[in-house]
């Protein structure tokens, strides 16, 4: 009997692959092999690789930015929002985040989504900071500093595949 996998399984495996091996390893055959499914299974879920990667990136944006921003915006105050943002930023899969940033250097479609995510993350932190500071420039400076924790580390770390580097 063939193994049944869901769209979510493909997305989760792709993010694991990004985190462990970097964006150059993100290939349809590799994802299918790691899930122990055929490429036919892949095509029954996604029309093609471009559709899959687009949906993967939109899912990443939704889960790792928009849902977090909505939770922060629903907070009772700026301190609670910043604590929530800090805690959620600490739970991000940074190697996958770094791999997406590295990928964005080679693919304009990925760069577009990655830039949008960066803008949305900064705007979320700016909203919380604006409630704490009288001067917008001060709030903006602190927001840029704080939002760095919600961003991926340097893209070079996502390209390395040697454990521990």
Who has greater pLDDT, 82 or 16?
Answer: 16
Who has greater pLDDT, 90 or 62?
Answer: 62
Who has greater pLDDT, 139 or 74?
Answer: 74
Q: pLDDT confidence of 156, banded at 50, 70, 90? A: very low
What tens digit of pLDDT does each residue of 81-111 get? Answer: 989 988 888 888 889 999 999 999 999 999 9
Q: Which domains does the chain have, with CATH numbers?
A: 7-154 (1.10.357.10)
Question: Residue range 114-124: average pLDDT?
Answer: 91
What's the pLDDT score for residue 153?
A: 45
67/50 Cα distance (integer angstroms): 24
Who has greater pLDDT, 27 or 130?
Answer: 27
| C-alpha torsion angle, residues 106, 148, 113, 125 (rounded to 10) | -170
**pLDDT surpassing 90 at residue 150:** no
Q: pLDDT confidence of 64, banded at 50, 70, 90? A: very high
What's the pLDDT score for residue 18?
A: 97
- Where helices occur in 62-152 by DSSP H, the ranges are 67-73, 78-90, 94-104, 108-130, 136-147
7/44 Cα distance (integer angstroms): 10
User: Average pLDDT over the chain, rounded to whole?
Assistant: 86
Q: How many alpha carbons fall within 13 Å on the CB side of residue 112?
A: 5
């Amino acid at each position: 009997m063939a193994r049944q996998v869901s769209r979510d399984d493909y997305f989760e495996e792709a993010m694991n692959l990004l985190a462990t091996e970097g964006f150059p390893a993100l290939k349809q055959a590799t994802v299918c092999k790691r899930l122990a499914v055929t490429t036919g299974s892949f095509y029954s879920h996604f029309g093609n690789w471009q559709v899959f990667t687009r949906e993967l990136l939109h899912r990443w944006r939704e889960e790792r930015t928009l849902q977090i921003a909505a939770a922060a915006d629903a907070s009772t105050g700026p301190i609670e929002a910043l604590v929530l943002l800090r805690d959620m930023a600490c739970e991000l899969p940074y190697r996958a985040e770094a791999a997406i940033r590295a990928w964005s250097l080679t693919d304009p479609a990925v760069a577009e989504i990655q830039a949008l995510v960066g803008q949305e993350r900064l705007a979320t932190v700016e909203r919380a900071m604006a409630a704490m500071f009288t001067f917008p420039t001060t709030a903006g400076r602190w927001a840029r500093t704080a939002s760095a924790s919600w961003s991926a580390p340097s893209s070079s770390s996502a390209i390395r595949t040697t454990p521990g580097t």
